[in-house]
Every structure is written in structure tokens, then in C-alpha cells.
Chain A
Amino acid sequence: MREIKVAEISKAVFMLFLDANYDLGEDVLASLQAALQVEPSPTGRNVLEQLIVNAEIARDEQVPMCQDTGYAVVFAELGQDVRVVGGDFYAAVNEGVRQAYIDGFLRKSIVADPLNRVNTGDNTPAVIHVEIVPGDKIRLIVAPKGGGSENMSAVRMLKPADGAKGVMDFVVDTVSRAGSNPCPPVVVGVGIGGTMEKVALIAKKALLRKLGEPHPDSFYAGMERDLLEKINKLGIGPQGYGGRTTALAVHIETYPAHIASLPAAVNINCHASRHKERVL
């Protein structure tokens, strides 16, 4: 058994949340640059330019690119040959979040109770998804998630007869209704299959893929291309002012489904598509 101290986990989580909030991914930056070349709307191009300059300021000054520094979502792939020592794994992750949001001047956006709504003051607790995997390492992926785009997300339990067209209509309709709210250009995570909770989780996981990297299965890669084309025909454009850059990418993840079910989920992310990872 390889031992990993909880302090190491806290430190990694701390660094990853700073990095995810300060430093826009190179894949996103390249995608915004590419969109700037083809966006026909002058106001739309102005928005894309602002987002590119904003990323430079955030990186240079080490400040958050967006004031909504998000719900702290953490995916941990825990090697089954790892022994976590020195404390509680979940407490260690939350300690890293607490330090990042306090010492890193990130906004604290979490209320302790959904109805009584008193701020926890340190952006904890994180939403932590742990998966046990072979090996003796821990892979940590952090994905701070803004409220504006999360609020536009949806799950629908379709009928198997609805098929691929039913799923595509649902995805396009969800992005269409979201309009200007989730800070387009958006990144669209789509889950298909599994159960109600599983489909939402894989839609979120789809957002962790490198921007624009196609699904390994050519059928789903084709569906991603078709969806991106349909979404960009909606005309919503950057920030919703009209234009052809409504989404930067559509990523699909699938899971086996029950003979009676066709669950589908759409998790919308803002342009920043924040996520960073590290292997311990």
C-alpha cells in the first residue's frame, strides 16, 4: 500500500482551485481565438475580445476570471492500493477548498441550508465524487461551477422511442431556452443513459474533457458535431446579443440504460469551462 498524507491532498486541492479560477485553459483560449475569426456579429466579436483580454488580466494579476468562483466540485479517482493517512479524506478536500477560497480571495458562494440560506463563509462543503480505480495514485480534478450556467441545466427521462432525435431536440431546446443567461458561448455537457442521478453525473463529467476533443465512438462524435452545428444556428451568439458562436463545444458521455428508459441530461457550462487536475 502506498501511503498519501491528507496534508498533501489538501495542498493539491488548494493549488488546483486557485489555478482553475485564475488561469483560463489553453484549450478554451484557442477556441475563443478561433471563434473570433469566424463570428460575423461586431458586438459578438467585441465580447470574445473582452473574454480573451479578461483571461490575460486574470492570469497576470492572479485574480479570479469570474467573480462567481463557483461551487467547489471535486472528482477524485482513488487508487485501491493507496492508503490515505493522517486524517479524513473528505475533510482534507474541504480543508483545501477552505484555504483556496479564503487565502486566494475567491468568493464564498455556498449557503449551509438551501432554504434558510446562511453563507458558510469558506465555500465549503465541496461536492465530492469519489471513484475507486486500480493503482496506487490519486487523480484529483477540480471544477468550480458557476451558478448562472448550472441553473440552466436540465434532466429529462425520455422514452426509448424518442431515440437520438429526441435527445438532440432536448439538448438544443435546453440551450435555446437558456438564451443569454449562462454567459454564452457555452460548453455543453450531455449525458445519455444510466439512471436519473447517473445521467446528471456523466453530463457533468463530459465538461471535464479537453475542449472540442471528440467522443471516441464515431457515432457519438458525429452527434456532437451535429449538435454543435444546430446550437450555433440558434443565433444566440456571444452573451446572447446575436451571433453564430453560441457554444464552443458539445461533449457527450453515455452509460448503459434500462430497457424502459432513455435518460438524458444537459449540464451547461459558461465559456470558461473551468477545470484543472493533478495526479498524486
Chain B
Amino acid sequence: MTVKALKAPLTDEDVLQLRAGDNVLISGVIYTGRDAAHKKLVDLLEAGKPLPVDLRGQMIYYVGPAPAKPGKVIGSAGPTTSGRMDAYTPALLALGLKACIGKGSRSQEVKDALVRCKGLYLAATGGAAALLAKTVSKAEVVAYPELGAEAIYRLEVADFPATVVNDAFGGDVYEAGRRQYCIAE
């Protein structure tokens, strides 16, 4: 299995060199956000107000980490189901967000927006939260501390493992992988 290094934040060139099914190790800065934070961001957008974080070029990781034990940077931090963010994602991609990381399939609207805006959807291993937390060297809340685990964190990560699910060309590893390994009855 080949693995590519990916430096975050991303450029269009970074996005366009990757294809569905590629395995990557992400290093750099990523932001967290899940249901409640997405709703707040999109409410601001609709009201024509500025966002608390400049999302251009950034990756959003759908995660609500467990509390950090004393001496740890972050608690266990695996991906949550991405489909719940489908309603919000196209608006953020249009704003310049380059990628999101979660688990599980996306709507056709999100896949179309990834093609239109040159974006990526990646998945990390759901349930591998203790392993994924070890790739995080720094975590700080940058918006909505009142949301607790759902606040927006800025994370510094090194070699965070993920797989490209949907690329900027319409590729989908969930569909392709299933076709490859399905045994018809």
C-alpha cells in the first residue's frame, strides 16, 4: 500500500494530484468542526457576517474529541459520521474550504461541490480514536468554546492517516471498492 504525504493547508495543486483510494499522511494545521459548529458557521454566512476562522485552503476534521487526560494534548479523537454535515459542506467549499475529513458516504450535492470547487473528502478510520489522537501535537480552541467537544479547535498534526474517498474528478472509493469486492449471489 503506497502512502503519500500531504501538507495542510492545501493548494489546488495538492487537491488535483490526489485520486479516490489514495492513502495519505497529513501534516500541518487542520481545524475541527461537527454538527453544532457547522450550523453556527453557515448561520453567519447566511447573515452575511464574517466567520471566526478563515477557511480558505483549510481542512475541516469532523470530530468531537474525548476530554484530554492530564498531561495529554487531546483526548481520543476519531472521525464522526460525515453525512450529518452534508447540508453545510457545499457553502463552505464555495468559500474556499479545500477538504473535509470524516467517515461514511456523502450526498451527491457534496460530491458535485467537490468537483466544482476543487476539493477533497477524506476518511480516517472510525474507531481508531486513540491512535489518531497520537498524531496531534497541539490543540487549541479557536471558536465556540461553549460547545465543549463540539467547539472549533485548531490542531497541529503529524502523519495523520487518511484515505481519499471523493476526489475533485468525481471518483468515489466507497463505490469503486464495493464494486471490486462484491460477490454477486
Q: Which residues of A contact B (CB under 8 A)?
A: 40-43, 46-47, 50-51, 53-54, 57-58, 61, 63-69, 105-109, 119, 147-148, 151, 179-181, 183, 230, 233-237, 239-244, 270-272
Would you call B178 and A234 a contact (CB within 8 A)? yes
Checking B83, B149, B182 against A181 with a beta-carbon cut-off of 8 angstroms, the contacting residue is: B83
In the complex, which residue of chain B has the Cβ closest to the Cβ of A271?
B127
Decide yes or no: A54 and B69 within 8 Å by CB, A67-B63, A230-B185 being known contacts: no
Checking A64, A180, A271 against B66 with a beta-carbon cut-off of 8 angstroms, the contacting residue is: A64
Q: Does B49 touch A at the CB level, under 8 Å?
A: no
Min CB distance A57 to B, Å, is: 4
Would you call A107 and B149 a contact (CB within 8 A)? yes
How far, in whole Å, are A46 and B126 apart by their CA atoms in the complex?
13
Would you call B80 and A242 a contact (CB within 8 A)? no
Checking A42, A183, A233 against B127 with a beta-carbon cut-off of 8 angstroms, the contacting residue is: A183
Would you call A57 and B173 a contact (CB within 8 A)? no
How far, in whole Å, are A181 and B123 apart by their CA atoms in the complex?
11
Min CB distance A76 to B, Å, is: 26
Decide yes or no: A235 and B181 within 8 Å by CB, A63-B75, A148-B81, A241-B173 being known contacts: yes
10 pairs of residues in contact across A and B, judged by CB atoms under 8 Å: A53-B128, A54-B125, A57-B131, A65-B130, A148-B104, A181-B105, A183-B103, A240-B174, A242-B173, A242-B180
How far, in whole Å, are A54 and B133 apart by their CA atoms in the complex?
10
In the complex, which residue of chain A has the Cβ closest to the Cβ of B67?
A105
- Which residues of chain A have C-beta atoms less than 8 A from B81's C-beta? 147-148, 151, 181
Q: How many A-B residue pairs have CB under 8 A?
A: 163
Interface residues on B, range: 35 or more
How far, in whole Å, are A57 and B129 apart by their CA atoms in the complex?
10
Decide yes or no: A65 and B129 within 8 Å by CB, A43-B23, A46-B1, A108-B149 being known contacts: yes
Min CB distance A194 to B, Å, is: 29
With most chain A CB atoms within 10 A of its CB, the pick from B65, B127, B129 is B127
Beta-carbon contacts of B66-97 to A below 8 Å, as 1s and 0s? 11110010011110110100000000000000
Would you call B134 and A67 a contact (CB within 8 A)? no
Q: Does B52 touch A at the CB level, under 8 Å?
A: no
Min CB distance B25 to A, Å, is: 12
Would you call B130 and A63 a contact (CB within 8 A)? yes
Would you call A242 and B178 a contact (CB within 8 A)? yes
In the complex, which residue of chain B has the Cβ closest to the Cβ of A235?
B182
- Which residues of chain A have C-beta atoms less than 8 A from B64's C-beta? 67-68, 107, 109
How far, in whole Å, are A180 and B183 apart by their CA atoms in the complex?
17
- Which residues of chain B have C-beta atoms less than 8 A from A69's C-beta? 66
Would you call B127 and A40 a contact (CB within 8 A)? no
How far, in whole Å, are A40 and B180 apart by their CA atoms in the complex?
11
- Which residues of chain A have C-beta atoms less than 8 A from B176's C-beta? 242
In the complex, which residue of chain A has the Cβ closest to the Cβ of B131?
A54
How far, in whole Å, are A221 and B135 apart by their CA atoms in the complex?
42
Checking A41, A47, A230, A240 against B104 with a beta-carbon cut-off of 8 angstroms, the contacting residue is: A240
Interface pairs A-B: 7 shortest CB-CB: A242-B177, A235-B182, A183-B126, A235-B181, A181-B104, A233-B183, A54-B131
In the complex, which residue of chain A has the Cβ closest to the Cβ of B1?
A42
Would you call A67 and B104 a contact (CB within 8 A)? no
Would you call A67 and B129 a contact (CB within 8 A)? yes
How far, in whole Å, are A54 and B131 apart by their CA atoms in the complex?
5
Would you call A43 and B21 a contact (CB within 8 A)? yes
